[in-house]
Amino acid sequence: MTFPNDLTALIETTKGFMPAHEGMALYENAKEFFTGGVGVEIGSYCGKSTLYLGQAARETNSHLVTIDHHRGSEEHQIGWEYHDLELADDHGVIDTFAVLRATIAQSKLTNSISAIVGRSATIAKWWSKELDLVFIDGSHTEESARTDYESWSPFIRTGGALIIHDVFPDPNAGGQAPYLIYKMAIDSNNFVETFALDSLRVLRRI
C-alpha cells in the first residue's frame, strides 16, 4: 500500500508542527509497531501527526487514540511564538478541537482514530489498556513532558514503541524537555533506540 495522495494533500493543508519527512518516518515506524492493538498520541493539535499515525493504524487494523485538552501549549498562547489568531476566540482562548474533528472527518480514517479531549495525565489515571505504541508530542515544559512519560510509558507492551518528537540533544537547537524524557527512557533500561531522524526518536520496549 502506498501512502494515499489525497492524504498527503490533506496533511499539507493541516496546521501543525510535523515536517513531512519526519511524518513519513513516523508513519513507517508506527506501521512496524502496530499489531492490531491501540496506539496513543499525546498532542493532537489540529491533526497533522494524527493523520500519519491514523493511516498506519488503518493499514494494520489497529486503532489510534489521540489526546489533547485542545487549549494549546505554552508557546501557542497569546503573545507567544506559535500563537495562531485563527485558532483563538475573541478572548484569546485557543480551541483546536473543532479543527481536529474537521481534519479527521476529511480523512478516510474515521474508523481508525478516536479523539479524547482532556489532560494527558487525567486520562492516564483511568486508562488500563496495553499499547502498541505511545507518541509523545504534547507540552514541552519539563514537568509536563515527564508526566506524559511517567503516566503513559508503563502501558507500552514489550516490543512496543515509545516515540518522542522534538528531541534536541543540543540545547541551542531546541527546548530540553523531550530530550530529558528520551534520556529517562534510555536510562531506565526498559527501552532501546531503534530509529532517529532529526528530532524524532523511536524506542522499543524490551
Could you list the active site residues? 140
Smallest gap from residue 141 Cβ to ligand SAH (A): 8
φ, ψ at 8 (rounded to 5°)? -60, -45
Residues 13-72 that bind Mg ion (CB under 5 A): 17
Stretch that binds Mg ion, among 9-17, 66-74, 89-97, 116-124 (CB under 5 A): 9-17
How many CA atoms, within 13 angstroms, populate the side-chain half-sphere of residue 88? Answer: 15
Contact pick of 29, 96, 112, 153 for ligand SAH (by CB under 6 A): 96
Is 156:188 a contact under the CB 8 Å cutoff?
Answer: no
Q: How far is the CB of 158 from ligand SAH (least distance, A)?
A: 26
Of the two residues 38 and 100, which places its CB atom closer to ligand SAH in the complex?
Answer: 100
194 closest CA partner among 181, 185, 203? 203
Judged by beta carbon distances under 5 to 8 A according to partner kind, the member of Mg ion, ligand SAH, none in contact with residue 166 is Mg ion
Q: What are phi and psi of 197, to 5 degrees?
A: -145, 120
Residue 72 binding ligand SAH, by CB under 6 A: yes
Name the segment binding Mg ion (CB under 5 A); options: 20-28, 136-144, 145-153, 185-193: 136-144
The secondary structure element, H or E, covering residue 24 is helix 20-33
Can you tell me the distance from the alpha carbon of 105 to that of 124, in angstroms, rounded to the nearest whole number? 26
Name the residue with cell 507500552.
156
Name the residues that contact ligand SAH, by CB under 6 A. 16-18, 43, 45, 48-49, 67-73, 96, 119-120, 137-139, 144
